[in-house]
Structure 1
Amino acid sequence: MCAAPRNRLSRRRFAQALGLAVLPGAGAGAGAGAGADVARAAQRARVTIRLSHVVARQTPKGLALEHFRERVRVLSQGEIEVLIYPNSLLYGDEDEMQALQLGAVDMLAPSLSKFGPIGFPEFELFDLPFMFDATAQVHRTMQGAVGRELLDLLSRQRLLGLGYLDNGFKHMSANRPLLAPADFVGLRVRIQSSRVIAHQMRALGAKPVVLTFGETHRALAAGVVDGTENPVSNFWTQRMHQAQTDLSLTAHGYLGYAIVVHQQFWQYLEPADRAVVEQALAESLAWGNAIAQQENDEALAALRASGATRIHALDAVQRQRLRHATRGVHEALAARIGADWLRRMRGAAAAAA
């Protein structure tokens, strides 16, 4: 398969960062063997943390969470084990937040879009089109007052936000170039469950279709939807290039994640264990954010080398036309969450530019 070279690169970088040897078969997909590994790890450890996510291990998020697992093991001297269930193996887009609230899983790394549907529409600020121009700008915004206050909101549902993690900027794919608003008209576009993203697609003349991430490739291949939006790493690792002829580098929106636990689980941990988790997470989020752009760059290079998909770069005029067509999305969100939130986010983004 054409994805293999990139998977080897990702595993090598991950191992080198942790000072480990690269072993044959490392990073293999979860299956019966993975289940046995989980059972053995749980028997060895004093504390286990079940961590579910919906993307592949070789994505920026997947690699950062594997880094976190290993740092927790090292810092706790094996007494705390993080059991990772990638690729919707345990829970998917549609049920992972409920699973966390019910205690069926201990830690998640959901996309920021996931918080709007469960009662935190303020997080949809991150979904706004053309809010940010660079990942460094996003990082500074997240680390500032607005980013911290958004995580604090989660306490309303006894959730605790522990930090933010990058994937990168989203781009549009379809079976035709998407370079101007007119190109979107009539397209059925797969989106996450986000009112902001749905409004953005309608503003461009497209028809938003909410599907889980795990269903997206099949829906594209079957013609249920015509296109989607994703960072290049997701597009590549999910093999969407097998179902889409064109990728347009729109960089119209940002995709990031929040690391979140339930407060009851956090209180269950001993203070020393919480300190280990916090230290490991701080190290791993910094590491993950540092390699996210490189992972996307490598995915784009692999995609170009595969020749499977035509890649289109937008110029400044084309991006401005898309920005102009979606300008009403910002004001519509402000009407729902309050103009002050939008004003503060815009101010934070401008100060971080």
Structure 2
Amino acid sequence: MKIRMPLIKTVGVCVALAFSSAAFAEEPIIVKFSHVVAENTPKGQGALKFKELAEAALPGKVDVQVFPNSQLFGDGKEMEALLLGDVQIIAPSLAKFDRYTKKLQIFDLPFMFDDVAALDRFQASPDGQELLNAMKSKGIQGLAYWHNGMKQMSSNQDSLVRPEDIKGLKFRIQSSDVLEAQFRQLGANPQKLSFAEVYQALQTGVVDGAENPWSNIYSQKFHEVQKTIAVTNHGALDYMVITNSGWWDGLPEDVRAGLKKAMAGATEYANQLAAEINDRDRQRIADAGKAKIQTLTKRDIAAWREAVRPVWTQFADEIGKDLIAKARASNEE
């Protein structure tokens, strides 16, 4: 009898611990995906698709929570939040990474890629994929590239065909050393403004022009306050979907594999949607008849590329001459 009672207690404790461990093991991993745009954008829809695919692939193991429209953190705070572990996934514009690595400035270099197909080939190449790891020493792991569309130049001038047509004009840019150098090289005056300020700045003449994909031009009604939009396709307005590298590496292997697969599916979905929306919105702009769309010849594009080539040289040491050469090679199928 003296032996049996402690045994019962010990067994009870073991059973309780077993139940407690099982309950703990069943708790899903919370994955907060925070972004700053609306749900009806390619990025917003891509985030929702990732949630759908991840939770289907890992039932009960992950709980993906999507927060659009800066509900958790705005542009200026989301990176800090990721590094602190307050969110697990964000998708900033590629132009916002130059403080972490200069290599990603490759995507800001003007007239580097002929079209989205060339951009895709480079991003899918070993060099493009390696760039996803370029910020790992800073605690940032890239997961995928998401498109928002190739940029077009717009202005309040009647013609926007040759590089000399923008000389002396004020152009709104994102905060990027490369984009600033691009317009200075062309003889224009770059003005850093937040995206929310662009419409009024164009309307009132604070700036004369801007660079945006068709979806941004249409959704923000920029075509209503610009005379001309030139089909330059001179740069990519892309995002990198990123996570905290310490959190990512610490995930169970099966969960990480499931999230990778879900991200691949969401990336394909978001990028296809971006292409469809840009094609649709270009047509909507044409149908509206407010801004003239100018299609440039190969000769025109060659003139633009030659005019901005010194910018490539200016940033070659920071980005890497070999990387620039491989990016240019992606234009050849």
Task: Pick the TM interval, shorter chain.
Answer: 0.7 to 0.9
Native 8 Å contact 2:106 2:319 kept in 1 = no
How many Å apart are 1:268 and its aligned residue?
4.9
How many Å apart are 1:297 and its aligned residue?
0.3
Q: TM-score, normalised by structure 1?
A: 0.79
Q: Does 2:50 align with 1:68? A: yes
Distance 1:62 1:295 in 2: 13
Q: Does 2:328 align with 1:346? A: yes
Distance 1:341 1:58 in 2: 34
CA displacement, residues 172-195 of structure 1 (integer Å, 9 cap, x when unaligned) = 122224222222122221112221
Q: TM-score, normalised by structure 2?
A: 0.83
How many Å apart are 1:260 and its aligned residue?
0.4
How many Å apart are 1:78 and its aligned residue?
6.0
Residue 188 (structure 2) aligned to one of 206, 213, 216: 206
Distance 1:232 1:99 in 2: 31
Distance 2:75 2:121 in 1: 28
Per the alignment, residue 109 of structure 2 pairs with 128
Query: Alpha carbon RMSD of aligned pairs, Å?
Result: 2.2
What residue ranges of structure 2 are gaps of 5+ in the alignment?
Answer: 1-26
CA displacement, residues 10-59 of structure 1 (integer Å, 9 cap, x when unaligned) = xxxxxxxxxxxxxxxxxxxxxxxxxxxxxxxxxxx833322222333333
Native 8 Å contact 2:100 2:135 kept in 1 = no
Residue 274 (structure 1) aligned to one of 229, 235, 256: 256
Native 8 Å contact 2:113 2:328 kept in 1 = no
Percent identity over the alignment is 38
Native 8 Å contact 2:174 2:193 kept in 1 = yes
What residue ranges of structure 1 are gaps of 5+ in the alignment?
Answer: 1-44
CA displacement, residues 196-219 of structure 1 (integer Å, 9 cap, x when unaligned) = 111111111111122233333343
**101-110 vs 124-133, which deviates more?**
101-110
Native 8 Å contact 1:185 1:204 kept in 2 = yes
CA displacement, residues 210-257 of structure 1 (integer Å, 9 cap, x when unaligned) = 223333334334443222111101222223234333322111112222
CA displacement, residues 96-123 of structure 1 (integer Å, 9 cap, x when unaligned) = 323322333221111211111x231111
CA displacement, residues 63-110 of structure 1 (integer Å, 9 cap, x when unaligned) = 222221222233333653333333444434333323322333221111
Q: In structure 2, give the amino acid aligned to 1:237.
A: S
Per the alignment, residue 154 of structure 2 pairs with 173
Q: Does 2:269 align with 1:284? A: no
Native 8 Å contact 2:154 2:210 kept in 1 = yes
Per the alignment, residue 315 of structure 1 pairs with 297
Native 8 Å contact 1:107 1:259 kept in 2 = yes
Distance 1:186 1:198 in 2: 14
Choose 1 or 2 for highest CA Rg: 2
Find runs of 4+ consecutive structure 1 residues off by over 6 angstroms.
none
**Would you say how many aligned residue pairs link Structure 1 and Structure 2?**
306
Native 8 Å contact 2:82 2:89 kept in 1 = yes
